[in-house]
Amino acid sequence: MSKPLKQIHLAAHFPGVNNTTVWSDPEAGSHIEFSSFAHFARTAERAKFDFLFLAEGLRLREQGGKIYDLDVVGRPDTFTILAALAAVTEHLGLTGTINSTFNEPYEVARQFASLDHLSGGRSAWNVVTSWDAFTGENFRRGGFLPQEERYSRAKEFLATTQELFDSWQGDEILADQASGVFLRDAKAGSFVHTGQHFGIYGQFNVPRSPQGRPVVFQAGDSEEGREFAASSADAIFSRYATLKEGQAFYTDVKNRLAKYGRRQDQLLILPAASFALADTDAEAEELARIVRRQQVSGATAIKHLEFVWNRDLSAYDPEGPLPDIDPDVSDNHISKGRAQVRMYRDPLATAREWRELAEANKWSIRDLVINTGNRQNFIGSPRTIARTINEYVQADASDGFILVPHITPTGLDAFADQVVPLLQEQGVFRTDYEGPTLRHHLGLAHPDDVEDEQRAAS
């Protein structure tokens, strides 16, 4: 018997501060004006997407001691923009990346619970963690957190916010005008948390929100990150959008759930994916090629090489060969505030591999970066892209994708109009929202129901 068809989950990542985003295209609009966010969110909702996703960075990136100026720079505050988007959408989930290092659990819990109330149950939190003193220079705490403690703090941070969300049962507000009883329980919201990172107590002042708790996303890929997700997250924002890598990651993470007493459908795996969509496959290939060259200018290629070499390479010609000198492997990184730096764990090996690749293919620096960098994950006609996405999901490479267009704010329009109807025709994507909350869209139970289920099972 064949497996029943899986339903695909789709989300939209607002394009932003990275070189995927092509700002130089004449169609590219503002990355800050609310109208851009509203257009993007309405398109995602028109296409019945599960949610909109916002990334975050709490300090402007630097390279060689100077603010990085080749990509889009600047973004709005996550909570504030999501609350405003709740006003121009009805169903779309609103997922924000919020750092657990440079915030306090009480405040973040208040903000997410408030967002959940104000959106009628559509909030989600992508929990990230940071430890670097560079970002810390913008905050009271400073760069205090040893790297090895970042997951322990993140886990405790998340657990603490869950305690705050759970400090209200949901039936405390009686508001009976006749009897004069507003609160059923004077102790509503009581909490005490004593741990390694937080020692807090009192009464939480936001009543239980429609989703009980916001949906929790996690984005780390390390061993600890995978365990953290398996134990505590509702979805993983993964970076494995190819079939084989996706399947390996999927199997690995889903198999970790059992030891935390969780079923495989209680954690969704959603890689970020870019795409190049055109009328025909050939046109899409050509579009993909053009976009990649827009994404990687000569200057961008040199800067990208500097992540690995950890040296000033500005004297090199991007159209010329790779540097002969070896990377500087000291800890004093030339690039600050970028996740990419950590991707190259062995810079000497990467440099060696890249030189060999460039020599074998006669690639310039720019060619090398274009060809080894982030190729669009899905390239083709609407039919090809719809088919590929469905194949990946049915083959358990993921449960769906978080799509990152390369243009703001119209980059999702064609996908919504041309690809989504094909997925709907195949019966693998919703034609309408079935419930009001993000938990409904994602097929996740309300936390109270999960607890009932666990109680019944024990």
Partner 1 sequence: MSPSSSLHLAVALDGTGWHPASWREPVARPRDLFTAGYWADLVAEAERGLLDFVTLEDGLGLQSSHYGELDGRTDQVRGRLDAVLIASRIAPLTRHIGLVPTVIATHTEPFHISKAIATLDYVSTGRAGLRVQISPRPHEAAHFGRRTFPPLSLAELQTPAGQERLTDLFDEAADHVEVVRRLWDSWEDDAEIRDAATGRFIDRDKLHYIDFEGKHFSVKGPSITPRPPQGQPLVTALGHQTVPYRLIARQADVGYVTPHDAEQARAIVAEIRAEQGAAGRAGELLHVFGDLVVFLDEDPAAAAARRDRLDALAGEPYTSDALVFTGTPAQLADLLGEFQAAGLTGFRLRPAVAGHDLPAITRGLVPELQRRGVFRAAYEADTLRGLLGLARPANRYAAASA
Q: Which is nearer to partner 1, 133 or 325 (CB)?
A: 133
Distances (CA, A) of 303 to 17, 356, 366, 375, 383: 15, 20, 10, 18, 36
Q: Which of 27, 69, 223, 434 binds partner 1 (CB under 8 A)?
A: 69
Residue 287 is encoded by which pair of tokens?
A: 């579009």
Per CB under 8 A, which of residues 77..136 are in contact with partner 1?
77, 79-81, 83-84, 86-88, 102-104, 106-107, 110-111, 113-115, 117-120
206: contact with partner 1 by CB under 8 A: yes
CA 131 to chain centre: 18
Q: Which is nearer to partner 1, 207 or 447 (CB)?
A: 207
Asked whether 382 and 283 are in contact (CB, 8 A), the reply is no
Per CB under 8 A, which of residues 43..62 are in contact with partner 1?
57-60
196: contact with partner 1 by CB under 8 A: no
74: contact with partner 1 by CB under 8 A: yes
Helix (H) or strand (E) segment spanning residue 241:
none
Q: How many residues contact partner 1, by CB under 8 A?
A: 73
151: contact with partner 1 by CB under 8 A: no
Place of tokens 């020692």: 199
- Least distance from C-beta 368 to partner 1, angstroms? 18
159: contact with partner 1 by CB under 8 A: no
**Which is it for strands 51-54 and 62-63: parallel, antiparallel or unpaired?**
unpaired
- Least distance from C-beta 425 to partner 1, angstroms? 34
**Which is it for strands 62-63 and 335-336: parallel, antiparallel or unpaired?**
antiparallel
290: contact with partner 1 by CB under 8 A: no
How would DSSP label each residue in 368-424? HHHHHS---SEEE-HHHHHHHHHHHHHTTS-SEEEE--SSTTTTTHHIIIIIHHHHH
Helix (H) or strand (E) segment spanning residue 276:
strand 275-277
Q: Which of 6, 152, 200, 347 binds partner 1 (CB under 8 A)?
A: 200
140: contact with partner 1 by CB under 8 A: yes
- Least distance from C-beta 86 to partner 1, angstroms? 6
Distances (CA, A) of 35 to 299, 302, 327, 409: 31, 34, 44, 9
Q: How far apart are CA 147 and CA 154, in angstroms?
A: 12
Q: Which is nearer to partner 1, 90 or 279 (CB)?
A: 90
205: contact with partner 1 by CB under 8 A: yes
Distances (CA, A) of 339 to 28, 380, 405: 25, 29, 20
Q: Which is nearer to partner 1, 38 or 257 (CB)?
A: 38
Q: Which is nearer to partner 1, 8 or 86 (CB)?
A: 86
455: contact with partner 1 by CB under 8 A: no
Per CB under 8 A, which of residues 11..50 are in contact with partner 1?
23-24, 32-34, 38
Cis check for the bond before 409: say yes or no (omega within 30 of 0): yes
Q: Which is nearer to partner 1, 138 or 255 (CB)?
A: 138
Asked whether 222 and 239 are in contact (CB, 8 A), the reply is no
Q: Which is nearer to partner 1, 139 or 433 (CB)?
A: 139
199: contact with partner 1 by CB under 8 A: yes
Q: Which of 6, 42, 75, 311 binds partner 1 (CB under 8 A)?
A: 75
Per CB under 8 A, which of residues 295..314 are in contact with partner 1?
297-300
Place of tokens 């100026």: 69
408: contact with partner 1 by CB under 8 A: no
Per CB under 8 A, which of residues 246..275 are in contact with partner 1?
none
Place of tokens 């990230």: 128
280: contact with partner 1 by CB under 8 A: no
